Structure 1
Amino acid sequence: MKNIAVVFHSAGGTTRQLAMALAAGVAAMPDVTVIQAEITGADINAGRFCNHKLLAQLDSADAIVFGSPTYMGSVSAQFKAFADATSERWESQLWANKIAAGFTIGSNFSGDQLHTLQYLQILANQHGMLWAGLNIAGNHNSAGLNRLGAQSGLIAQSADGVLHETDLLTARYLGQRVAQICNRLIT
């Protein structure tokens, strides 16, 4: 049984909705369990991420999917505090060879969400993880998945807190894709 973790920060609830859809996609696949881990304000003390139990859960995962809203062209401060706290794991390459993926949401169509995905991808690469992007050309399938055309991971958009249905379906698809890759590559 493979363990796939979805670790994310959500401020207004849309990133949480994407995380839940992604986790549902993971859970729909055989031979996997999903760990949903939300970064909250209680996890941060004096600007430092302090949830060691969550970090230990991620240590035992076979794959980690990172999620953050896009704020000012990058991840949220809460997610950044989490990322900074992974430095001890980076030093020992504890997460090396795990599968990784990412998702983000912003209020604008071109609100620099790609930079957030690139930040998540660099974080994964620093840890020696193997990045799984979307294998759907933007808006080129019958369901309209990947409507905003990001190959690096899921980019969603909502200006009013209501998610586009195809963004939720794309999140579910990404969860299934990570589970398939995990089942295929990890013995």
Structure 2
Amino acid sequence: MSQPLIAIVYHSGYGHTARQAQAVKAGIDEVAGATSQLLTVDEAPTCWSDLAGAEAIIFGTPTYVAGPSAAFKSFQEASSNAVMAQGYRWKDKIAAGFTNSGTHSGDKLATLMQIALFAAQHGMHWINLDLPPANNSRRGSEQDLNRHGFWLGAAAQSNIDEGADIAPPEADLATACHLGRRVALATLQFVRGRL
């Protein structure tokens, strides 16, 4: 049986979301039987056939002005002609998402919702984070996974005065890694269930 491909398509304006994408990839790569491919939104349009062959696509973008970055939106719009017009080539693939912003909330939920709706328009199956909220009690910590309390996808926060060599924090990268593992396991289950 061939190993299912899980693609990660992302935009990163300053390198912070790229670190998050690499953490998602690391989570996928921990799962035996799955392979990963990391693509920026600039590379993705030259790889439509790779994305058509993937069993899952995880989308990532920074949150700018309460939504996905313009570069990510451009990729979304390009997929309309390249994917939808060609017969819903992403239909029944697994999908998930992640985002990063400078503040703890930063309207990241709005971005994740837009990514989930984008996946739904392609007929994809959305995978959530499946982590309880953390850092919400006296026993909580900034080092907890899902410290921001998102369910829809992985969220990260990067201080605006710190470079990508420092931010996002390890807890947010570990949360992104968890998302990658979860999507890889769900994809394997989905693919093997189809046999």
On whether the aligned pair clears a TM of 0.5, the verdict is yes
Residue equivalent to 1:47? none
Residue equivalent to 1:30? 32
Residue equivalent to 2:171? 166
Question: What residue ranges of structure 2 are gaps of 5+ in the alignment?
Answer: none
Residue equivalent to 1:111? 106
- The aligned amino acid for 2:84 is W
Report the Cα distance in structure 2 between the residues aligned to 1:78 and 1:25, rounded to whole angstroms.
25
Select which of 100, 107, 126 maps to 2:95.
100
Report the Cα distance in structure 1 between the residues aligned to 2:58 and 2:23, rounded to whole angstroms.
12
The answer on 1:144 being equivalent to 2:144 is yes
- The aligned amino acid for 1:16 is A
- Following TM superposition, by how much is the alpha carbon of 1:52 offset from its aligned partner in structure 2, in angstroms? 3.6
- The aligned amino acid for 2:76 is A
Select which of 67, 72, 86 maps to 2:65.
72
Report the Cα distance in structure 2 between the residues aligned to 1:124 and 1:109, rounded to whole angstroms.
25
The answer on 1:135 being equivalent to 2:137 is no
Q: How does 1:1-16 map to 2 (within 5 A)?
A: 1-16=3-18
Moved more, 23-32 or 132-141: 132-141
- Following TM superposition, by how much is the alpha carbon of 1:32 offset from its aligned partner in structure 2, in angstroms? 0.8
- Following TM superposition, by how much is the alpha carbon of 1:90 offset from its aligned partner in structure 2, in angstroms? 2.1
- Following TM superposition, by how much is the alpha carbon of 1:139 offset from its aligned partner in structure 2, in angstroms? 1.1
- Following TM superposition, by how much is the alpha carbon of 1:95 offset from its aligned partner in structure 2, in angstroms? 0.3
Report the Cα distance in structure 2 between the residues aligned to 1:145 and 1:90, rounded to whole angstroms.
35
- SS of the residue aligned with 2:64? coil
* TM-score, L = length of structure 2: 0.87
Residue equivalent to 1:85? 78
Report the Cα distance in structure 1 between the residues aligned to 2:84 and 2:64, rounded to whole angstroms.
25
Kindly report structure 1 stretches of 4+ aligned residues shifted beyond 6 Å: 140-143
The answer on 1:177 being equivalent to 2:182 is yes
Residue equivalent to 1:19? 21
Deviations 1:40-97 (A, max 9, x none): 4xx6xxxxxxx54222211110000000000101111111110001113124211011
Contact 2:45–2:75 (CA under 8 A) maintained in structure 1? no
Contact 2:8–2:38 (CA under 8 A) maintained in structure 1? yes
Report the Cα distance in structure 1 between the residues aligned to 2:115 and 2:47, rounded to whole angstroms.
18
Number of residue-to-residue matches in the alignment: 178
Contact 2:105–2:148 (CA under 8 A) maintained in structure 1? no
Q: How does 1:33-52 map to 2 (within 5 A)?
A: 33-40=35-42, 52=45
Deviations 1:117-146 (A, max 9, x none): 001000000000000011111117997211
- The aligned amino acid for 2:183 is V
Report the Cα distance in structure 2 between the residues aligned to 1:118 and 1:164, rounded to whole angstroms.
23
Question: What residue ranges of structure 1 are gaps of 5+ in the alignment?
Answer: 44-50
